[in-house]
Amino acid sequence: MGNVETVFKGNAERLKRRVPAGELTTPGRFAKERDRIFRRSWILMAKEYEIPNKGDYVARPMPMLDLSVLIVRGADGKVRGFHNICTHRGNKLVPDGKGNLPHFNCRFHGWAFHNDGRLAVVTDEGQFRDLDKSLLDMRAIDTEVWNGHVFMYFGEGPHETVREWLGPMFDQYDGYFEQHKMINSRIVDVRCNWNLAINAFMEGYHTLYIHAKSVPDYQGGPSNPERHRPFMEMFDRNIRYSAPSNPNHKQTRAETLAWKYGRQALPAFDGDMTGMPPGINPARAKNWAFDVVQFYPNTVMILGNSFHIDLSFWPIDENNTRLTGANYMYPAKNLAERLSQDFVLSRGRFVVREDLSTLEAQHAALKSGALTHFQLSQQETALQHHYRVAADILGE
Ligand code: FES
Ligand SMILES: [Fe+2]
């Protein structure tokens, strides 16, 4: 019995099928990743929908770099990023969380900053001799917005723009994300290295096995029993692939009900691709289920016809990772559609739990020294790519 043959596109040079992995869980490797990968990449830090109005802000940690980051929509409507610190003696300006403020006021000695970062007030200013206020605006972080996604760059310039960083992907998703509304979000702490955690969401080889009970036949079927991805495309840093749906999937009763009242989110595409931007199902593969895109280094998005999911992996230390993410779906017009969406969400929760269930064991295997390499198949090309990109940046 045949399988779909994966069509590969892009830079497959120097990919290794046997990837050294023993070092991943060491503090030394972690320090290198911190200083050279996470300070030299555009990192997804927030979404525009979190700060829709002028003066809205979100303050959140960037744990790997021990930073608190402030993302603000200024009085001029522009989104900017700052270190969440006062330029007097470094007190934190606002607690982590969300809000709306015309000014950021420091509790320590009362300095104030406009929400575009300019210094507004130095209290008892006369006591500061020869004060050069131009040195005292809030510390900016390079911030760019792409299709509603707020990316930040934590290293020193010069560096690439987001357009350069995303390459051909930059123009290929216009109009896609804003069709969906955030309907729930998650935070999960996992006791494993971040590379292992993100890798669990970067291949479909596992679906036949670890998801055998939860979603037994969403993918695969007689024409593609091993569930090969129809299409994979490698860019300089990012990678994307399309996942196959099973045209012979047998609907369960719950699904029949859910798809009666709402759009069929999974397993199969329930409409045509007309109007979808070129980045979605880029090869226009038949029996398409959804795409998986890694925004290197630490975000994976799952992009479907009526939903999308994002998952970001925040390294805490070499042994611990925080996963944050959200589900987005078409806006429900009525309660029936909302219930149909809840069905998708509850199924998704189960699947993600399975995805996370092997991570502590994998981590322990590396820590013990008993496993020194990952032997990777073509269906795990995104992992080969992930480690090739890291090796390039780390100069290995
Ligand atoms: S540290 Fe903020 S006013 Fe002194
Ligand atoms: Fe999975």
* 324 touches 186 (CB < 8 A): yes
- Closest ligand, as measured to the CA of 110: 1
Distance 35 CA to ligand 2 centre (A): 30
Within the chain, strands assigned E span 7-10, 18-20, 42-47, 56-62, 67-73, 79-83, 97-100, 103-105, 112-114, 119-121, 140-146, 149-153, 181-190, 231-234, 239-244, 288-295, 299-303, 307-317, 320-329, 373-375
Average pLDDT over residues 73-93: 98
Average pLDDT over residues 66-79: 97
The answer to which of 151-160, 198-207, 348-357, 368-377 has the lowest mean pLDDT is: 151-160
44 vs 69: CA distance, rounded Å = 12
What does pLDDT average to over the chain? 95
SS3 386: helix
263 vs 304: CA distance, rounded Å = 12
Distance 155 CA to ligand 1 centre (A): 25
Distance 355 CA to ligand 2 centre (A): 5
What is the tens place of the pLDDT at every residue in 144-182? 999 999 999 999 876 899 999 999 999 999 999 999 999
Q: Give pLDDT, residue 159.
A: 85
| pLDDT classification of 382: cutoffs 50, 70, 90 | very high
What is the tens place of the pLDDT at every residue in 189-201? 999 999 999 999 9
SS3 33: helix
Query: Looking at ligand 1, which atom is closest to the CA of residue 89?
Result: 1
239-244 and 231-234 as β-strands: parallel, antiparallel, unpaired?
antiparallel
Residue extents of the structural domains in the chain: 7-36+169-394, 42-158
Q: Give pLDDT, residue 311.
A: 98
Query: Looking at ligand 1, which atom is closest to the CA of residue 106?
Result: 2
Query: Looking at ligand 1, which atom is closest to the CA of residue 86?
Result: 2
199 vs 213: CA distance, rounded Å = 21
Q: Give pLDDT, residue 13.
A: 85
Residue 335, token pair as written in the block: 């309660």
Nearest Cα neighbor of 150 from 128, 179, 172, 177 is 177
Distance 367 CA to ligand 1 centre (A): 43
Q: Give pLDDT, residue 157.
A: 78
Work out the number of other CB atoms within 10 angstroms of the CB of residue 145: 15
* 142 touches 157 (CB < 8 A): yes
Residue from 106, 123, 125 whose mutation best tests the ligand 1 pocket (most atoms within 8 A of CB): 106
What is the tens place of the pLDDT at every residue in 246-286? 989 988 899 999 999 998 887 666 567 888 999 999 999 98
| pLDDT classification of 322: cutoffs 50, 70, 90 | very high
Average pLDDT over residues 363-373: 98
232 vs 241: CA distance, rounded Å = 4
253 vs 34: CA distance, rounded Å = 48
What is the tens place of the pLDDT at every residue in 53-63? 999 999 999 99
Q: Give pLDDT, residue 268.
A: 65
The DSSP output letter for 144 is E
Average pLDDT over residues 28-42: 97
Q: Whose CA is nearest to atom 1 of ligand 1?
A: 89
Work out the number of other CB atoms within 10 angstroms of the CB of residue 279: 20
Q: Whose CA is nearest to atom 3 of ligand 1?
A: 109
Q: Give pLDDT, residue 269.
A: 62
For the CA atoms of 158, 161, 162, 165, what is the dihedral angle to 10 degrees?
-70
pLDDT of 52 above 80: yes
Average pLDDT over residues 369-393: 97
Q: Give pLDDT, residue 11.
A: 86
What is the tens place of the pLDDT at every residue in 223-251? 999 999 999 999 999 999 999 999 899 88
Phi and psi dihedrals of 207, rounded to 5? Answer: -65, -35
pLDDT of 122 above 60: yes
244 vs 290: CA distance, rounded Å = 7
Q: If 0-12 CB within 10 Å is exposed, 13-18 middle and 19+ buried, where does residue 253 land?
A: exposed
Nearest Cα neighbor of 128 from 85, 91, 93, 88 is 88
Q: Give pLDDT, residue 51.
A: 98
Residue from 111, 121, 124, 127 whose mutation best tests the ligand 1 pocket (most atoms within 8 A of CB): 111
Residue from 70, 82, 84, 88 whose mutation best tests the ligand 1 pocket (most atoms within 8 A of CB): 88
CATH of domain 42-158: 2.102.10.10
CATH of domain 7-36+169-394: 3.90.380.10
Q: Which residue, chain included where needed, has tokens 């892009």?
A: 10
What is the tens place of the pLDDT at every residue in 95-113? 999 999 999 999 999 999 9
Q: Give pLDDT, residue 258.
A: 92
- Closest ligand, as measured to the CA of 212: 2
Cα→Cα distances 196→233, 278, 298, 362, 374, Å: 21, 30, 11, 8, 11
Task: Tell me which residues have their CB closer than 6 angstroms to ligand 1.
Answer: 86, 88-89, 91, 106, 108-111
Residue from 85, 91, 119 whose mutation best tests the ligand 1 pocket (most atoms within 8 A of CB): 91
Phi and psi dihedrals of 365, rounded to 5? Answer: -65, -40
Count of alpha carbons within 13 Å of 127, Cβ hemisphere only?
A: 4
